[in-house]
Structures are given as structure tokens and as C-alpha cells.
A and B are shown apart, each in its own frame.
Chain A
Amino acid sequence: MTAGRSLLALPMVLLLLGGAILPLAILVVISFWSVDFDAFELVPGFGLASWREVLGNPTYPYLIGKAVLTGSVTAGLTALAGYPIALSLLRVPQRWKSVALVVLMTPLYTGEIVRIYAWRLVLGTDGLVNGVLLGLHLVQVPVKVILFSPVSTILALVYDELPFMTLALWIALERLDLRLVEAARDLGARPLTAFVRVTLPMTSTGLCAGALAVFALSAGDLQTPNFLGGPTGATALASIDNFFGTAFDWPTASALALSLLFALGIVAAVASLLILRIGGGAVRTRP
């Protein structure tokens, strides 16, 4: 019986090994190799040069920290925006819910590049926001600080990843017994207090799932910072791309990729633990 059950897990184990562990192991090995730039060939060996470059040059810890920050801020903002949306979706009549789902997912049907150019049309010098500001005589010359800044990058990332957060929260909220919220109100909690003390912990698994997805997607996004960040658009991913592709410096690329992965993994794990702790008993003792 048990042996039979374990066999069922075999495809998953193989998939994990082949799809995740093996490529990572290859990265680890290559990160210690060097490159013969004359023959354009990787030279196997054990050297620490690439790790020294990645960990010793402040540029890369900075870029990794920036990825963590971008992921965290985006996850936080999508949660702030996602809860009100998901809560209002709860009130949508059952037969309209599939329509709401389709609408919610709209940003995902367009390509990332399309969305990026759309944001430029909205935020740019000749864009919608400036058109309104100029039309209302609130400014005399177009505001240039919105586009090509961290603001436009985060705005676009929040828009891009919001469906993942909202969907996760929505599913969690649909499973929440709304009488618990009524009970909290009944016992004297204001709406925000009831949210913090009941809704939030009771949907912490959904929040955790949404936050992890948004964190990973936004910390690992290359195009949005490239196209909307302007001079502030540098990312660890672009550096990895430069090393892997342009410079054929696979060892440094591997070391940087592994460092980024490690940092994102640690932050994601710690954040998940913290989020799930809000839900404490709800998660622990659900029958």
C-alpha cells in the first residue's frame, strides 16, 4: 500500500529533479568554472573569481537588494489593492462571478510589451495624465518625473501582478465564513479592526500564496523596469542577461543568478512564515 502510494509521487519527484534541482546543480558547478575568452569555451575547474566578483562588487548586492525591495513593495501594494477588490467580488451575484473572473484576468490577456506601451501613453510627456494636468492648468509644463522612474515601474508591476493577488485573496475570501466578520463587528470591532483581527488571519493562506506569486513575478521581471524605469531601470536580471549572453561569462552569470535566487528564496520563506503566523490557529487547527 505505502509502496504503491510512494510510486504515485514518483513523476512529481522526477519532474522536480529534472526541472529544478538539476539545472540549479548545473549553475552551481558552472559558477566555479572559468571562460577561455580566446576560444570562447567554458573551462571546467574550481575557481572563486566569479563569486568574488558577485559578492565583492557592491553593484550586485545592490541589484539583488533592489529585486527584493521591488518584489516586496509590489506584493504589499497588490495586497492593499487586492483586498478591496476581492471583497467587492464576494458580493457579485453567483451567475456574474465567471464574468468577473474574466474581467479580473484582463491584464493577463495582453502581452507585457503592450501593457508597457499603454503605460507610456498614460504617463508620458504627451500622455493622458499630463493632458489632464495641463488641461486643468495644474501644471504649466508636462510632468516628466512619473514616467521612467521607480514610480512608473512599480505602478506597472502592481497592475501586471494584481490579478494573481486578487485571485488568491478572492478564493480565500470565498472560503471565509462571513459570520465571523459579523461576530467581530458584533463584539465591538470597527470594520478595519475586524479586517485585521479576523479577515486577514483567516485569509492568510491566500495572502501568502498571492504574495509569493507576486513577489516572484515582480522581483524577476526584466522588461517592465527596462522599458519603464528609464535610468533607474537596472535589474539583477539584466546583468545576468548581459553576462550570459553578451559577455559569454557564464560563471559570473551563474554566481549572480544563484545569489539572486538564494536571496529571493530566503526572503520569500521568511515572509511566508510571518504571513502564516498571522493566521496561526486558523491554519494549525483547521479540521
Chain B
Amino acid sequence: MSVLFTRRQTLAGIVGGVSAGLLSVERARAAVAELVWATWDSNAHPEYVEPFRKETGTAIKLSFLSSEDAQFAALKTGSAKDWDVVNPGLNGAWRYIDGKVLRPLDLARIPNRQYLYAPFKDTPKVVGKDGATYAVPYLWGLNPIVYRKDIYKDEPTYATLFDAKYKGQLAMRDYALESIGVAGLYIGIPRDQVFTMDDSQLAEAKKALIAQKPLLRTYWQTIGDLTNLFATNEVTCAFSWRVPYDALKGKMAMGMAKPKAGIFGWCDTFAIPTSTPDDKVAAAHAFGNYLLGPDYAMAIAEIGNYATASSVIRDKLSHDKQEAIFVDDMSVMNSFMWPVAPPNYSAWLKVWNEVKAA
């Protein structure tokens, strides 16, 4: 009873806070008719953002990204001046901060930050050398090993991806950061040191990856590509995203494994580019606050199977839904490793080029 009461109080508090924030924005910035949000298409179905327009009168115009790198390049070269809110990945946020393409955020205008799960609230990756916060995590997930339950009796680990027994039915992503990271875990590098491997550790990982090549059916390019590979029986186990699991679980015996050695998490943040006009900054903050609020979290949990970085609606979800979006057992947060662009990223890329050309 008391728990329930607390929840109600919490909810009331949220609603009050949200409305207060929105009202103040509305009064101050009634003139902002439209914000342009550069983000991934899966983060921004129109129904995810429609409540924001209803409440504030500010329409969200969506501009879909093709890649993280393209987003960074567009901001760096100034070719995306119409973007008002952008979507840096948590791991690469430092690039944007060091590259001076983001405005420092006024955290007082984002009250919903209080509902962030601890790892997201406390992450230093969004804080610049000047101590200011430049981005706020709002959406996250993890990259599991997706596999066929009818073929793998035991839940696969990263070692499975290097196991000659499964030659010709394994796949890795054509992406240096994750594939070399997986190899690092496979050769026994602790998960908190994977992204700071030294040259000799990198060379070991490279050796493992070259030995792995003949076992692979292919390197997958897009998540649609990998889903197709599972559906056509080309691949039975891959370092993946969750998409093939969701898409195929009704048709084949699909499983998702979260290896104990370390789980690759991903996390999107929202940030406001320096090019956003001053008169839109308040509305942009309000929209950031909306992304951490209940409307967005509920819509994307129901439709997209993603969890936001905010705990605001977690307790209202069924257990099945919580499980589906990995918020049933919050200990998962403890085995996360957040891939960061390593300091010697160029060396990683060279290793990856050499592995692929080997």
C-alpha cells in the first residue's frame, strides 16, 4: 500500500513538474512553431512526438540520420544549420563536446533528469572539461548475441563466435569498434579495459579475428541485412542487435544471449547544437525534457520495444514488457560496457582494415 502511495505521489509529482516546465516554456516561447530533430528513424515515429505538439504547440520536424559519423561531419562542417536538437551516441559524445559543436545545457530546464537511471545520470561522458553538461542520455539498449535455440543447446558466449564447430554459420558486424571489442573480450581482456587496449593487446585481438574469418559466413552491414541472414538460414549465431530476435521470434526458435564477460550497451543522447538560434533554445530544452517524460517512454516501449533512460514509467509496465526492454532485472546495468571511441581509434580502424583484407 505504502509503495503504491509513493508511486502515485511520484506520478503526481512528475505530471506537475512536467506541466510546470511546459507551461513556462509556452509562456516564454509561444513563437516557436517548429523544432528540427535530427535522430534515428526508429527513435522518432510521428506518434512518439505528437503529444509534445499537442501540449506545447511546437511541431517536431524529423530529420533522419544515416550514420553517427555523418551527423558529426554535418555539425562539424556546418552543413546542417537547420537542426535544433541532435542525437549524439553516448560513447561518441566527447567528440561533439571536444569538437565544440554543442551548446552547454541548462539542467534546470530539464527537471525530468531526476528520473534517469543512475548509470545515465552519473555518466561523465556528457560533461565537458569546463564542467558543463552538453548532452543527456534518453534512450538505450543492449547488443545481445542473437542465436537459434534449436541449434545451440547452451546459451552462446563470445567464445561461440570463434568456435570452429559452427564454421560457416556465424556472423560479426562489419564495424571495428564492436568486432574488435568482442575479440578483446574473447582473448580475456577485462571489459573495463577493452576500449583502452594497448598495441600488443590489439595485435592479439587482430590475430583472433583473422583466425575467425574462415568460420564466418559474412560480416553483416545493416541490421536488416542480418535479419535477412537469419531468416534465410545463412547465419545461426551473430553478434547482433535485438531486431532479428523481434522480427523472427514468431517464425523460428530465436534466442538472445547477454554474455557475462560484458554486454555492449548503446545509448542515445539529446543535445543542442551551437547553431540552434537563441530563440529556440528554451523550446529545445523543453523537448529534451519531454524525451525523459512518460509520454515518449510509454510510446516507444509499446511500439518500438526500447527503454528510455528514465525510470518514469518502468513500474507501470507489465513484467513481460519490462523483460522485453531489459528493465525487468536492473542488475544488467552492472555488466554493461559502453563502447567508446578508443583514444587510438585510428589504429583500431587500421587493424580492422587489415583483418578484412587478410
Contact = CB atoms under 8 A, between A and B. Distances in A.
Interface stretch (A80-88, A96-104, A193-201, A237-245): A237-245
Contacts of A117: 228
Interface string B319-356: 00000000000000000000000010110111011101
Interface string B86-108: 00000000010011000000000
B213 A124 contact: no
A238 B349 CA distance: 11
A106 interface: no
A39 B356 CA distance: 29
Interface stretch (A164-172, A205-213, A223-231): A223-231
Contact of B345 (A37, A57, A59, A126): A37
Interface stretch (B44-52, B215-223, B258-266, B282-290): B215-223
A133 to B, nearest CB: 15
Contact of A230 (B72, B217, B343, B352): B217
Contacts of B352: 242
A17 B270 CA distance: 41
Interface stretch (A69-77, A154-162, A246-254, A263-271): A246-254
B232 interface: yes
Interface string B199-234: 000000000000001101111010001001000111
A38 interface: yes
A231 B357 CA distance: 9
Interface of A: 35, 37-41, 53, 57, 59-60, 62-63, 66, 117, 120-121, 124-127, 144, 147-148, 226-227, 229-231, 233-234, 238-239, 242-249, 252
28 contacts: A35-B346, A37-B346, A39-B99, A40-B76, A40-B95, A41-B99, A59-B350, A59-B354, A62-B357, A120-B234, A121-B232, A126-B232, A144-B168, A147-B234, A231-B216, A231-B219, A231-B356, A233-B356, A234-B356, A239-B353, A245-B70, A246-B69, A246-B176, A246-B177, A247-B346, A248-B69, A248-B72, A249-B346
